[in-house]
Amino acid sequence: MIQSEAQQLKSLGLAVINTELDAISALCDRVDESFVSACQHLLQCEGRIVVIGMGKSGHIAGKIAATLASTGSPAFFVHPGEASHGDLGMITNKDVVLALSNSGETGEILTILPLIKRLGIPLIAMTGKPHSTLALSAHAHLDVSAKKEACPLGLAPTSSTTVALVMGDAVAIALLEARGFTAEDFARSHPGGNLGRRLLLHVSDIMHTGNNIPKIDHNALISDALIEMTNKGLGMTAVMDQDKIKGIFTDGDLRRVLAQTVDVHTTTITDFMTVDCVVGTASMLAAEVLELMQRHKINALLIIDESENLVGAINMHDLLRAGVV
């Protein structure tokens, strides 16, 4: 590709981005009383938010519905063409309808307006034509008009769909804040995702407990510690004085032993264990334990309860298997 062609493609791409940026910037003045009214209707919804749209507006409507649902506002998408052939039964008298149409004159949506009115539920319209049939029929109208499509032919929905998507995000996040929706609430609706694992998984869910906890008496020899570490496979062992933790012996401590050519069969563990070791609690999030281990540059951790009794053990491999790392 010659240089002039490459430069032309870059210029075309930048022109699209700048056109859409201008369209998005124009939205700032439209976060007005109509926006507040729309949000209030949605906040008062006792059922679900039913989002409808045709064509490209339908794709945007589907994404808005998904964003609403994942941020604390139960919502789903209904295809308006299917609605008049039975799917309208999915809408109840406790719902709110959010309808997207750039022209505000989409036939499939206008066809079901009388049925929505008969249900007596709020209708929120998102159009590019404030004086369109759909806009004038709505309880609240969100103006998502775009002066210019990024498409040079002015035909393909580009700026108009971007503006609608941004307005949908503005509504969803405004509702999120108004509801006091938290990161943990978000994680509950995304349990399979990385955020869900980081915010919902506790140490108690993945730690080794009972006989699987590596531990030896403080009078034991280093050779005893090696056998326990080998059997339990966590790269460390707790050193106990009855029920209390006296210290920890890790792979790092073992390297110090080997560097000094110590006789592991005659040397007691207390000579080389780490005292005042870092510990975690079973109630901590797995993500918190990961941060603790990274901060102290350790690969394994003993877990205690409120009375400082040893109740578990965990290492970096456990966090990796759980998908926290």
Cα 43 off chain centre by: 22
Show which of 146, 181, 216 is a domain's final residue. Answer: 181
Instruction: Please name every residue paired with 315 in a beta bridge, in sequence order, or none if there are none.
Output: 300
- The tally of CA atoms less than 13 A away on the side-chain side of residue 217 is 3
**CA separation for the pair 108, 80 (Å, rounded):** 6
Based on the fold, state whether residues 31 and 164 are members of the same structural domain: yes
Give the tens place of pLDDT for each residue, 232-281.
999 899 999 888 899 999 988 888 888 887 888 888 998 889 888 899 99
CA distances (Å), origin 77, targets 49, 81, 87, 115:
9, 12, 11, 17
Per-residue DSSP letter, 122: -
Q: Domains in the chain: how many in total?
A: 2
Based on the fold, state whether residues 239 and 99 are members of the same structural domain: no
**CA separation for the pair 87, 253 (Å, rounded):** 67
Residue 26 burial by Cβ neighbours in a 10 Å radius (0-12, 13-18, 19+): middle
The token pair that represents 46 in the structure block? 């006792």
Q: What is the CATH number of the domain that holds 227?
A: 3.10.580.10
For residue 137, give its domain range: 3-181
Q: What is the CATH number of the domain that holds 100?
A: 3.40.50.10490
Based on the fold, state whether residues 293 and 174 are members of the same structural domain: no
Residue 224 within any structural domain of the chain? yes
Residue 51 has pLDDT above 90, yes or no: yes
Residue 104 region, left (φ>0) first, then alpha (ψ -120 to 50), else beta?
Answer: left
Residue 91 has pLDDT above 70, yes or no: yes
Give the tens place of pLDDT for each residue, 297-308.
988 999 998 888
Based on the fold, state whether residues 219 and 119 are members of the same structural domain: no
The stretch 143-147 carries a mean pLDDT of 92
Residue 194 within any structural domain of the chain? no
Based on the fold, state whether residues 18 and 159 are members of the same structural domain: yes
Based on the fold, state whether residues 12 and 121 are members of the same structural domain: yes
**CA separation for the pair 145, 16 (Å, rounded):** 17
In the structure, what pLDDT confidence band is assigned to residue 77 with cuts at 50, 70 and 90?
very high
Is the entire prediction scored with pTM above 0.75? no
